């Protein structure tokens, strides 16, 4: 279903289904492709966003788990047919196996994605109020084995939209690591343990396989780690709704980071 501006609409039934499936946003859930009448975001949307992010240079690049201050960046392809080669040339140019390029607060790079996500988050706001201190849309692209930031949680409710490739997300409840002697590091949106070996905790994780067109919801505070068996190419947009945040907490993490 589309509105007069040819933008997909999100029916009230979607949010009613979400509330029921997620136990009022307290449990992680995968929302199948047919949950929305029409897909909210398209592969073309994600590709255009990726191009704008790369060509602007407004991105963070991570190669094999290490941030690069001055990465070598190949020319972005004119169409999606060349994207797979681009994400193979990108790590090779930086002597790495895998590469991730990301942009927090990415909506300035795509008016189309901005409009569509505003339509989506309207239903969330109607049920839970306008999030304080706001929302954060993040673009993530690349070819990699695991989450570039490592094992972490977020202080926001997160909706992941994989548009190309898949997520294989390991999930643990908020209190799972409370009594473990792991070094916590402040991240922009939450707490991070970094690239630790998650093997000792794997048996206790719930695995969620999320494919293109599906939506994956992660409640605030739940630990997660995307672990793929082989290098895979992905394009993802995520939306974080900071309805659990406080002004103090929101300021502390970026300052410490």
Domains of the chain and CATH, by start: 12-256 (2.60.120.650)
Taking the C-alpha atoms of residue 240 and residue 142, their distance in angstroms, rounded to an integer, is: 20
Q: Is the pLDDT of residue 69 over 80?
A: yes
The most confident of the ranges 30-39, 68-77, 147-156, 185-194 is 68-77
- Quote the crossing angle between the two packed helices 111-128 and 43-56, to the nearest 10°: 110
Q: What is the pLDDT of residue 252?
A: 61
Phi, psi (degrees; rounded to nearest 5) at 15: -70, -30
The string over 4-22, giving b where at least 16 C-beta atoms fall within 10 Å of a residue's C-beta and e elsewhere, is eeeebbbeeebbebbeebb
pTM: 0.89
Both ends of the chain: CA-CA distance in Å?
42
Q: What is the pLDDT of residues 197-226, one digit of tens each?
A: 899 999 999 999 999 999 999 999 999 999
Q: What is the pLDDT of residue 165?
A: 94
Average pLDDT in the chain: 89
Interior CA angle at 32 toward 29 and 34, to 5°?
Answer: 145
Tell which residue, 214, 172, 166, 215, has the closest CA to residue 191. 172
Query: Average of pLDDT values for 160-179?
Result: 94
Q: Is the pLDDT of residue 232 over 70?
A: yes
């Amino acid at each position: 279903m589309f509105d007069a501006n040819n933008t997909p609409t999100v029916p009230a039934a979607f949010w009613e289904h979400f509330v029921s499936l997620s136990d009022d946003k307290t449990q992680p859930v995968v929302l199948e492709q047919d949950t929305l009448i029409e897909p909210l975001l398209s592969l073309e949307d994600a590709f255009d966003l990726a191009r704008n992010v790369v060509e602007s240079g407004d991105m963070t690049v991570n190669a094999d788990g290490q941030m690069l201050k001055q990465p070598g960046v190949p020319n972005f392809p004119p169409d999606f047919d060349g994207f797979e080669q681009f994400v193979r040339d990108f790590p090779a140019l930086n002597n790495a196996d895998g590469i991730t390029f990301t942009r927090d607060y990415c909506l300035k790079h795509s008016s189309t994605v901005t409009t569509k996500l505003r339509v989506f988050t309207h239903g969330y706001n109607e049920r839970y109020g306008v999030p304080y201190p706001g929302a954060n849309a993040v673009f993530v692209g690349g070819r990699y084995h695991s989450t570039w930031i490592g094992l972490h949680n977020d202080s926001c409710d997160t909706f992941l939209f994989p548009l190309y490739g898949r997520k294989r997300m390991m999930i643990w409840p908020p209190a799972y690591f409370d009594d473990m002697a792991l070094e916590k590091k402040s991240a922009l949106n939450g707490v991070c343990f970094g690239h630790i070996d998650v093997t000792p905790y794997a048996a206790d994780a719930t695995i969620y396989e999320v494919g293109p067109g599906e939506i994956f919801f992660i409640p605030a505070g739940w630990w997660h780690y995307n672990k793929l068996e082989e290098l895979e190419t992905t394009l993802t947009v995520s939306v974080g709704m900071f309805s659990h945040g406080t002004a103090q907490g929101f300021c502390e993490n970026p300052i410490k980071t």
